[in-house]
Structure 1
Amino acid sequence: MANDWLFNVLLILVAIVVFVFLVLPRLRKSELWQATLTPLSSIIGSGFLVMAPLLASIVGVYATYAVTGIVLVAYALGYVMRYNISNVESPSLDSEPHKVFRVPEYLGNLVLVVAYVIAVAFYLSLLSDFLLNFFGINNILLERIFTSTIIVFIAIVGYTRGLTGLERLESYSMTIQLSVVAALILGLCLFNFNFQEKVVFAREEFTFVVQIQMLAGVLLVVQGFETSRFLGDKYTPEVRIKSMRIAQWISGVIYIVSVFLLLPVLTNVDLFNVELSSIISAMAPVAFVLPAMLMLAALMSQFSAAVADTSGGGGLLRENSQDILSSKVGYIVVSISAAMLVWTVDLFGIIALASKAFAAYYFVQTVLALIHNTREGMFRSLAAIWRQVLFVALALILAFVVIFSIPAEEEDTEHKVEITTDLISDMNTVRLNEIHSLTVKSGYRPDLVNHSI
């Protein structure tokens, strides 16, 4: 079936149909859909593809159950963010009852903006690396110049066109990604229908404790929904809450379905040394057009994730400065900072810090929600009691993630699962912990490996 021209043409047509649907004026002019694009771009990245081999390497055939649990925990964290938009953000933080939130909120935002800057630099560096290596170019100077050029482009669009301009960039890249995802899912459905073998993986066995630590790190693969929190200069709290929920619904379905359908394909992938090139090559038996389509989706995913995090970072700086800095100026600050990182530091060496920073930010937000619910009266209703239990549980989970998680694995641990960013030739090996910290979004990232290729 993989070499059946009719089948391959069908997949291309499906991608085209989805693309045409997503660019219809009704969607492009929809305020809710436009508000959904930023968190959706940040969550998905290319994690939908790399999440499966990552989880298969950790828990084997139980990967579908693992990703379902991760998606549910992430949705609960999204609930925390939505609760805070309604109850912590909306009331004036200068009012006496809400002064208690101001300092932790401010510090948490500072941590998050640093994570955004690192993520933007990392995503675009991977994009440049992928693209240049595709043409057989392996030159760090050219890679940095190309990365900086893209950053400047995003900064110019953000400053001159504002959030609307950045959303338009996200719209183009996200439309391509979703089109490819639709074709991939259809191809995998038919492949699975004809798959008769038993799904068995050759992988390293981890202890239960190590598996839990690694899964805690993978949680950040689905990071990115919090970007809705910082789009307040254009959207009302109601729109941001609803769009965040929709983005998590769409991304959650994509993650769970893609992991389930990819497992049979991964039986031929070396899970001891997971490489992006091997993941893409594994799609050839499904349909020979998929590797090229996935390469395009990988580039778009890195770009859209970088744009989304630039949007979130700019809005966050506006909020933290109490509107002294506009979001447009915030985009410039994030871009300049990202460009400086590209030229001065080893991004692969610090990306794990961004992963921890995202977890720390979620922890602060959960504590703020917990404090607010307690002050309002945790026993005032059954819903308030359940919220209190949820917030406490999430705070404990996030504390565990910050302290004990293995962002797919630490450098000093013997349990190594590596991903190489080389799609065409030899490229630098990227540890899952580094990609994963990106919340997977890196071109073919699992999260940072959260946040994706």
Structure 2
Amino acid sequence: MPRLSGVVRASVTPLASILGSGLLIIVPVLERTLGSLSVFGAALVCGVAWVVGTSVRHCVRVVEPAQASGSLDRVNARLDQAGDAVIVVAYVISVALYLRIMAQYVVDYSDPGGSALWERVVACAAVALIVVVGITRGFAGLNLLDRFSLGVVLVLTTVLGGTLLLHDVHGQFGAGLVLPPVPDIGIGEILLVLGGIVITVQGFETVQYLGDHYDAETRVWASRFAQLVAASIYLGFVAVATPVMGLGTPAGPDVTLLDITARVAPWLALPLVLSAVLSQFSAAVADTVAAEGNLRGLSRFMRGPTPYLVSGGAAILLAATTPTLTIVAVASRAFAAYYAIQAVLAMRTSTGRTRKAGYGALAVLMAAVTLFAQSAG
């Protein structure tokens, strides 16, 4: 195992990306889909993400060195290039998504029911800021932003989760916990919705594009570490938030976590908004770093500030023109397509029938999500 300090440093980008991907949206989506069984939905999504992560880590260890040495066969090389192209599109979409979610929390807090135009303006301004920092300070500057934002997010998430836990404990020993009902939705629709929130666990694959900064083994362990930490946070947060869901009450299903905090502890609204701003911003930074590294590998013309300008310009266009929930569904499909390609690569380069069959089944699953995933709205 590589040095722990190196693993922790390398995990900043994937962990920031994973937490920013879903911490703010997974609770309301699972509430409307599974109600009191939300934690099982979170566990299923995190479990699938871990399996997908094994294929990504296999590619870091096996495909990446073969590509660098020129020993990768033509079909696998083409698959690898196709994956690189797909993931760039996915990252651009995800950057637009994160900053639209961030803008939604800022606008809702400062002006409840405010104009959607301001959400787009705030999101586009945030993209522009990230591009400027990337061009002027490069990876070091963006990584510093990521480390600061992630640290604050972890503190604020602990405060939010702890407050919800205290509320649950008080309810259990008082009037008793009242869990939300399980919506009358078929298993097929539930699976389609869960497939549509693949974006909520995206981020562990960003280690593939940090090869200029960390060796392969450090990146593999960083990916594992980030996934385990993020999964524990997701499961714990969903568990303590479930008893406070508005589903089945006069409040109705929650649209954002602000709805829950307004009922439980209004003073949590500002910390939640700060967490929203920093988590989404840090996730956008993480995926901008990954997109920039990927674009440089795709074309010799992607040098200097060009990768930041290309990815940033496309993200601004999306953030300015596309509804948030539409971006969620499209981003999930884009990442699922990339994960399907990674699974095929892992299947073709692995040894043993069991491994090949497992990666093949994973490829089929991710292809199904790409084709049939349903919007969470």
Match of 1:64 among 39, 43, 48: 39
Say whether the 8 Å CA contact 2:61–2:216 is kept in structure 1: yes
Matched AA of 1:183 = V
**Structure 2: how far apart are the matches of 1:145 and 1:292?**
21
Tell me the number of residue pairs that the alignment of Structure 1 and Structure 2 aligns: 369
Say whether the 8 Å CA contact 1:317–1:327 is kept in structure 2: no
- In structure 2, the CA distance between the partners of 1:354 and 1:284, relative to structure 1 (3 Å rule), is closer
Greater RCO (CA < 8 Å, at least 6 residues apart): 2
Say whether the 8 Å CA contact 2:97–2:327 is kept in structure 1: no
Say whether the 8 Å CA contact 1:355–1:407 is kept in structure 2: no
**Structure 2: how far apart are the matches of 1:287 and 1:326?**
49
Q: What residue in structure 2 maps to residue 325 of structure 1?
A: 302
TM-score (normalised: structure 1): 0.74
Matched AA of 1:147 = A
Q: What residue in structure 1 maps to residue 86 of structure 2?
A: 111
Say whether the 8 Å CA contact 2:168–2:240 is kept in structure 1: yes
- In structure 2, the CA distance between the partners of 1:164 and 1:105, relative to structure 1 (3 Å rule), is same
Say whether the 8 Å CA contact 1:341–1:347 is kept in structure 2: no
Within 5 Å, which residues of 2 pair with 1:190-339? 190-196=166-172, 197-202=176-181, 204-266=183-245, 273-276=253-256, 279-284=257-262, 286-321=264-299, 325-326=302-303, 329-339=306-316
1:403-437, Cα deviation, whole Å (9 max, x unpaired): 222132xxxxxxxxxxxxxxxxxxxxxx3xxxxxx
Say whether the 8 Å CA contact 1:56–1:263 is kept in structure 2: yes
Report percent identity of matched pairs: 33
Greater mean alpha carbon deviation, residues 130-139 or residues 44-53 = 130-139
1:33 Cα deviation from its structure 2 partner: 2.6
**Structure 1: how far apart are the matches of 2:247 and 2:100?**
29
1:184-212, Cα deviation, whole Å (9 max, x unpaired): 22223322222233543246411122122
1:132 Cα deviation from its structure 2 partner: 4.0
What value does the CA root-mean-square deviation take over the aligned residues?
A: 2.7
Question: 2:170 matched to 1:167?
Answer: no
1:84 Cα deviation from its structure 2 partner: 0.3
Say whether the 8 Å CA contact 1:118–1:347 is kept in structure 2: no
Counting helix residues as a fraction of each chain, which structure ranks higher?
2
Say whether the 8 Å CA contact 1:225–1:248 is kept in structure 2: yes
Match of 1:124 among 96, 99, 108: 99
TM-score (normalised: structure 2): 0.88
Q: What residue in structure 1 maps to residue 8 of structure 2?
A: 33
Say whether the 8 Å CA contact 1:67–1:256 is kept in structure 2: yes
Greater mean alpha carbon deviation, residues 183-192 or residues 339-348 = 339-348
Greater mean alpha carbon deviation, residues 223-232 or residues 324-333 = 324-333
Matched AA of 2:53 = G
Match of 2:17 among 42, 58, 80: 42
SS in 2 for 1:45: helix
Structure 1 stretches lacking a partner, 5+ long: 1-26, 379-384, 409-430, 432-453
**Structure 2: how far apart are the matches of 1:275 and 1:250?**
26
- In structure 2, the CA distance between the partners of 1:303 and 1:49, relative to structure 1 (3 Å rule), is closer
**Structure 1: how far apart are the matches of 2:190 and 2:8?**
37
Question: 2:154 matched to 1:178?
Answer: yes
